[in-house]
Amino acid sequence: MTAGRNLDTDRFFAHYATMQRIRAFERAAIRAAREGLATGAIHASIGQEAVAAGVCGNLVRSDLLLSNHRGHGHTLAKGADAGAMMRELFGREGGVCGGKGGSMHIADFGVGMLGANGVVGANILIAAGAAHGVHMRRSRSADDRVVVCIFGDGAVNRGPFLEGLNWAAVYRLPVLFVCEDNGFAATTRTEALTAGPGPKARAESLGLVAAEVDGNDIVAVDALARDFIAAARAGEPRFIHAKTWRLEGHTAADKGAYREAAEVEARWADDPVARCEALLEQAGVESRRLAGARDAAVREMEAVFDEARAADWPAVERAFEDVLDTTAARNAAD
């Protein structure tokens, strides 16, 4: 890890705080699932926080983000409100999607977060299209938004990976693809069912500039993301293969029978949050400040948990809103 005295401590303290907030949010989300309060599947991103913080920390609010089923961290790092997110997981009134989406469809268009996705790989095409739309509008207005799309290693074996990367390359779209490789596609080890030299080579075969990075190294992720986002913004699509490791189950209900406890324990030694903390300490940040950030994150997420539990269910009429009916269609034509 690149460390030492010339570390921009403000920048990495901010990343650290984001990572601690993600970790605390995920812990609360897992607890909510185990207590039956989050009624749907929860895919937590514990162990992967440096990817979310390092990539999304290089975006501005108006930039756009597409995520996958493991999207809480990305969404928080993009600036969504943790309380509205937690209420969404609980399916309550005031959820960021009004309780209609849940964890797998978390979205906050107000901060440019255009949705997680329940279908592996589907976000790649939507991201390419969002970038296409931004690109088209550039000729009429000064729109320099960039689109970032984060998906898992499982997505690289689906057709949309080929179609979406080809699309971004031929139209030279302002998009950065991030393959967040956490070692597993659900309970299957990535390498077991993925042929060839890997995602980077696949991206390069389509003419994209691509790079691999240690996804648990916040400094490396941040530097690469900063570079690639600048290039993507200028219409040079980019690809990052970030190698990380999922430290908890595929879902909150997964007991992880397909991997040894010893392997998981060994991987905790590479915990990206602890690595970031060590780095900041080494650079002279007081451990009191670091502990303060951690405690504040835990308190924040405990509070949003309690708020979500106390929130009302959405009014049942909401089930019939946001979908067209005769009236809506007729109005659109008038």
Partner 1 sequence: MPELTYAEAARIAIAEEMRRDPDVWALGEDLGRGGVFGQYAGLAEEFGPERICDTPISEASIMGASVGAAMVGTRPIVEMRFSDFALCAVDELVNQAAKARYMFGGQARVPMVIREPIGIWRSSAAQHSQSLEAWYTHIPGLVVVAPATPADNKGLLKSAIRCDDPVVYMEHKNLWGLAGEVPEGDERTIPLGAARVERAGTDVTVVSWSRMVQTCARAAATLEEEGISPEVIDLRTLWPWDRERVMESVARTGRLLVVHEAVAVGGFGAEVAATVAEELGAPVRRLGAPRIPIAYAPPLEDQARVTDEMIAAAVREMA
Ligand X SMILES: Cc1ncc(C[n+]2csc(CCOP(=O)(O)OP(=O)(O)O)c2C)c(N)n1
Contact residues toward ligand X (CB under 6 A) are 43, 69-70, 118-120, 152-155, 182, 184-186, 250
134 binds partner 1 (CB under 8 A): yes
Distance CA 175, CA 143 (A): 14
Distance CA 58, CA 242 (A): 15
Whichever of 132 and 200 has its CB closer to partner 1, that residue is 132
Residue 312 touching partner 1 (CB under 8 A):
no
For residues 108 and 152, the answer to whether their CB atoms sit within 8 Å is no
Per CB under 8 A, the list member of 37, 77, 97, 252 interacting with partner 1 is 97
Task: Calculate the alpha carbon distances from 242 to 15, 72, 78, 210, 316 in Å.
Answer: 17, 17, 18, 11, 42
Closer of 57 and 152 to ligand X (Cβ): 152
* Cβ atoms of 178 and 171 closer than 8 Å: no
What residue 70 binds from partner 1, ligand X, none (CB within 5 to 8 A, per partner kind)?
ligand X
Q: Which does 254 bind (CB under 5 to 8 A by kind): ligand X, partner 1, none?
A: none
Q: Taking Cα atoms as reference points, which of 85, 76, 78 lies closest to residue 103?
A: 85
Category of 149 on φ-ψ map: left (φ > 0), alpha (ψ -120 to 50) or beta = beta
Q: State yes or no: residue 115 binds partner 1 (CB under 8 A).
A: yes
Nearer to ligand X (CB atom), residue 153 or residue 214: 153
**Residue showing tokens 């430290």:** 247
| 324 is a site residue for partner 1 (CB under 8 A) | yes
Which residues, in sequence order, are bridge partners of residue 242? 180, 213
What is the closest distance, in whole angstroms, from the C-beta atom of residue 333 to ligand X in the complex?
35
Question: From CA 251, how far away is CA 129, in angstroms rounded?
Answer: 29
Residue 101 binds partner 1, judged by CB under 8 A: yes
Least gap, CB of 43 to ligand X (angstroms) = 6
Q: Hey, what are 211's tokens?
A: 């790079």
Residue 115: contacted member of ligand X, partner 1, none (CB under 5 to 8 Å, by partner type): partner 1
Q: Is 276 in the site for partner 1 (CB under 8 A)?
A: no
Residues 303, 29 contacting (CB under 8 angstroms):
no
Among 3, 119, 193, 266, binds partner 1 (CB under 8 A): 119
Q: Residue 148 forms beta bridges with which residues? A: 65, 176
Strand partners, 180: 152, 242
Q: Of these, 139, 192, 269, 316, which contacts partner 1 (CB under 8 A)?
A: 139
Give contact residues for partner 1 (rule: CB under 8 A). 64, 66, 95-101, 105, 107-110, 114-115, 117-119, 122, 124-134, 136-137, 139-140, 147, 159-160, 163-164, 166-167, 170, 321-326, 328-330, 332-334
